[in-house]
């Protein structure tokens, strides 16, 4: 039994109504829902929300909203893990226990059914704790600089004269989704552990959306990928 959990609370200070705001023609959360439904690997696709308008959009798009998120996991300080644990506990109480799960963020229009299917296959075939998409830093972090007392210096001087191509590639979380083993997650209560695998994606398919400028950049990237037939 596999479940996709889309975490979409109603509150957002920097972008009002962020999780249901229109993105390239439809509410942004619909992209995550459609990707999950289209993957064909989930027995249940649900949305965890405290917002009735989001719940209505989710149900209309084909997702389940069997219960509303609690106040405890709807504030600014609730971690993603807390939300997921609450959802899984509620389903356990309903007599539904899942083996594998995938947490998908509601503002992740670059997530595709293919990526979700690939992640779930790796999770099961390779018996990973979790699987997540990552992308390489556009500039080598080991060549990074810091400011101290008005001066700019290398954070790691030992790498200052190294060629970029000679430095180890370093990746960061795309902030899109996490596929994971439910029983292990309920014990560890974290999404990334020693046995986590990464799916490498291009930086064109990644965009943090924290403000209006980020939103505009994400729409530009999305339209470009659509033109190229990559979405």
Domain of 59 in residue numbering reads as 2-133+171-227
pLDDT at 17 over 90: yes
Instruction: Give the domain CATH number at 27.
Output: 3.90.550.10
Buried-exposed string 89-126: b where 16+ CB fall within 10 A, e elsewhere:
ebbeeeeeebebbbbbbbbbbbbbeebbbbbbebbbee
Both tokens of 43, joined, read 């027995």
Q: Report the pLDDT averaged over residues 159-166.
A: 91
Q: Report the pLDDT averaged over residues 62-89.
A: 95
Question: Please, what is the end-to-end C-alpha distance for the chain in angstroms?
Answer: 27
Q: Which is more confident, 164 or 83?
A: 83
pTM for the whole structure: 0.95
- Of 17, 2, 24, 1, the closest CA to residue 51 belongs to 17
Asked if residue 39 is part of any domain, the answer here is yes
Check residue 216 and give its pLDDT: 97
Question: What percentage of residues in the chain have a pLDDT greater than 90?
Answer: 94
Asked if residue 141 is part of any domain, the answer here is no
Asked if residue 125 is part of any domain, the answer here is yes
Residues 6+ apart with CB under 8 A from 134: 171, 172, 173, 174, 198, 199, 200, 201
Q: Report the pLDDT averaged over residues 114-136.
A: 98
Asked if residue 143 is part of any domain, the answer here is no
Asked if residue 163 is part of any domain, the answer here is no
Asked if residue 166 is part of any domain, the answer here is no
Contact call for residues 185 and 130 (beta carbons, < 8 A): yes
Residues 6+ apart with CB under 8 A from 36: 4, 6, 42, 45, 63, 102, 104, 113, 116
Check residue 137 and give its pLDDT: 95
CA quadruple 119, 43, 68, 20: dihedral positive or negative?
Answer: positive
Asked if residue 77 is part of any domain, the answer here is yes
Check residue 231 and give its pLDDT: 87
Q: How far apart are CA 230 and CA 111, in angstroms?
A: 11
Domain count, the chain: 1
Asked if residue 185 is part of any domain, the answer here is yes
pLDDT at 81 over 90: yes
pLDDT at 109 over 90: yes
């Amino acid at each position: 039994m596999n479940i996709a959990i889309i975490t979409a609370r109603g509150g957002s200070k920097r972008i009002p109504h962020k999780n249901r705001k229109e993105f390239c023609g439809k509410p942004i959360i619909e992209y995550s829902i459609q990707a999950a439904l289209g993957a064909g690997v989930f027995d249940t696709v649900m949305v965890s929300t405290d917002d009735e308008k989001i719940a209505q959009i989710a149900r209309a798009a084909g997702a389940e909203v069997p219960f509303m998120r609690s106040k405890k996991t709807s504030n600014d300080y609730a971690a993603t893990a807390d939300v997921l644990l609450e959802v899984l506990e509620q389903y356990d109480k309903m007599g539904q226990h899942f083996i594998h799960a995938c947490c998908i963020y509601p503002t992740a229009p670059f997530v595709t059914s293919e990526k979700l299917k690939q992640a779930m296959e790796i999770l099961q075939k390779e018996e990973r704790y979790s699987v997540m998409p990552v992308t390489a830093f556009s500039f080598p972090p080991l060549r990074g600089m810091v400011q101290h007392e008005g001066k700019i210096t290398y954070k790691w001087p030992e790498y200052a004269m190294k060629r970029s191509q000679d430095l180890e590639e370093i990746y960061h979380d795309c902030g899109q989704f996490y596929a994971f083993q439910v029983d292990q997650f309920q014990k560890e209560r974290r999404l990334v552990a020693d046995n986590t695998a990464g799916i490498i994606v291009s930086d064109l398919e990644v965009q943090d959306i924290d403000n209006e400028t980020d939103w505009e950049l994400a729409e530009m990237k999305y339209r470009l990928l659509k033109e190229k037939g990559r979405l």
